[in-house]
Amino acid sequence: MSTADQEVRVARAYLSRVAEPPAPALAAFVTQAGPVLAARLVRDGEVPAEVAKETDARRLVYQPEQDLASAAAVGARLVVPEDEEWPAWPLAAFDLATARGLVAPLALWVRGAAPLADLVERAVAVVGARAATAYGETMAAEIGHGLASRGITVVSGAAYGIDGAAHRGALAAEGATVAALACGIDLCYPAGHTRLLDQIARSGAVVTEYPPGAVAARHRFLVRNRLIAGLTEGTVVVEAGIRSGSRNTAATARALGRIVMAVPGPATSAMSVGCHALIREEAALLVSRVEEVVESVGRFGLDLVDEAEGTHRPTDNLDPEALRVHEALPHRGGRSAEEVAVESGLPLNRVRALLPTLELSGHAERCDEGWRCARRRREPSTPSSPNAAPAATRAPPRTPD
């Protein structure tokens, strides 16, 4: 695998600390000048005013070698756009979204052995509330497990609640999962997920655009969320309150042209209000099963979901007229064809033609009084079929619910 020069990596390590992301002016400047020259000009303060505004406060904090060493100390590395493992394809969407203030990261600090681009070649974000319900965590774990077991990487934010459950579901499937942090790669946030983050690094990757030592801060979570959206083909919001960072991730995903999905929940649950708002007001796709998620991000013509299975009634294959004749048959005693015609409202000749057909298909049988519902069907029938059991004549039928 081709990797960038050390000079480039050092320059980007410095650039990753010098501005608080997202720094659109700096990003444009780096694209224009290249990372090595850009880093030197930033450090010397010889940059356009807009870039200076983003970089002046920290331009003299020059510690790239130390940052690379801090990362190495925890088994992490700096992945730069010049590396083959840079996820160039998913992050290319940012180039079209810069007008909306969405800027690709200048570099990514990564803990985990697998090449990052390979990990996110097929990836879906599963995000949601920290204060999740048991229902939400179950759904997150099932979707995480289902995606991972289909070879799709689960990307999330390693938070308590939905994020953690999604990562754990992927780990339980022995699949790949990626955690994007809002702090330095050498810090574990939340602290209670230190062990989880270690497991994620072993099976996938922990990534961040913040330099070593950077602490988690609220605005950084919002910035981090765009990375979760950017690395994935679609975002599934499992549970979200009415004000939720997950809705922010969803908005970014949409701005990047990615699919936004939301899991429904009880209308009475405060933790589903955000999901329902996404579906209701922002046209997010409702997903109830991992198969529906896979279909949405699926390869063209592949990954199609099976329709949810329903029960089948023995009369399902009857056309409307045959069904009307069948409904007019008594379960006990019998009726003449003429009586069946009046009851069903169908012409007598039609009834006379249909009755033998219904006999052949096992729906009707002849008796002394004329015709009645067949008591035992010749075709295989659902054991619990309401029509299979004898019932009082004119007993009200089971209705479609």
Site for a second copy in 214-273 (CB under 8 A): 215-219, 221-222, 240-246, 248, 263-268, 272-273
Q: CA 276, CA 117: separation in Å to the nearest integer?
A: 33
One of 279, 293, 354, 373 touching a second copy (CB under 8 A): 279
For residue 45, the minimal CB distance to a second copy (Å) is: 12
Cβ closer to a second copy: 147 or 263?
Answer: 263
Tally of CB atoms within 10 A around 88: 12
One of 44, 306, 309, 368 touching a second copy (CB under 8 A): 309
Any contact of residue 311 with a second copy (CB under 8 A)? Answer: yes
- Strands 285-286, 259-262: pairing is parallel
The owner of tokens 């999905």 is 261
For residue 2, the minimal CB distance to a second copy (Å) is: 32
Stretch binding a second copy (CB under 8 A), from 33-41, 56-64, 85-93, 164-172 = 56-64
Whether 271 and 136 have beta carbons less than 8 Å apart is answered as yes
Integer angstrom CA distances of residue 22 from 1, 105, 214, 395? 29, 7, 15, 71
User: Nearest-5° angle of CA 317, CA 319, CA 325?
Assistant: 110
Stretch binding a second copy (CB under 8 A), from 8-16, 105-113, 171-179, 284-292 = 284-292
Cβ closer to a second copy: 121 or 327?
Answer: 327
Q: Report the chain's C-alpha Rg in angstroms.
A: 31
Any contact of residue 131 with a second copy (CB under 8 A)? Answer: yes
Cβ closer to a second copy: 1 or 267?
Answer: 267
For residue 5, the minimal CB distance to a second copy (Å) is: 27
Size of the site for a second copy (CB under 8 A): 84
One of 3, 28, 53, 357 touching a second copy (CB under 8 A): 53
Stretch binding a second copy (CB under 8 A), from 107-115, 170-178, 303-311, 357-365 = 303-311
Any contact of residue 304 with a second copy (CB under 8 A)? Answer: no
Residues 173-202 that bind a second copy (CB under 8 A): 182-183, 189-191
Dihedral in degrees, nearest 10, Cα atoms 371, 372, 375, 380: 80
Query: What are the two backbone dihedrals, phi and then psi, of residue 194, each rounded to the nearest 5 degrees?
Result: -55, -45
Residues 6-35 that bind a second copy (CB under 8 A): 19-20, 23
Q: CA 366, CA 360: separation in Å to the nearest integer?
A: 11
Any contact of residue 389 with a second copy (CB under 8 A)? Answer: no
One of 93, 285, 388, 391 touching a second copy (CB under 8 A): 285
One of 138, 149, 382, 385 touching a second copy (CB under 8 A): 138
Stretch binding a second copy (CB under 8 A), from 49-57, 71-79, 91-99, 367-375 = 49-57
One of 10, 78, 139, 358 touching a second copy (CB under 8 A): 139
Tally of CB atoms within 10 A around 226: 27
Q: CA 16, CA 10: separation in Å to the nearest integer?
A: 10
Collect all residues with Cβ–Cβ distance below 8 Å to 269 and sequence separation of at least 6.
133, 135, 239
CB-side neighbour CA atoms (13 Å) of 359: 12
Which amino acid appears at position 40 of this protein?
R
Which amino acid appears at position 263 of this protein?
V
Task: Pull the structure tokens for residue 40.
Answer: 């030197």
For residue 122, the minimal CB distance to a second copy (Å) is: 22
For residue 264, the minimal CB distance to a second copy (Å) is: 4
Residues 325-354 that bind a second copy (CB under 8 A): 327-328, 341-342, 344-348, 350-351
For residue 217, the minimal CB distance to a second copy (Å) is: 4
Which amino acid appears at position 145 of this protein?
H
Q: CA 354, CA 360: separation in Å to the nearest integer?
A: 10
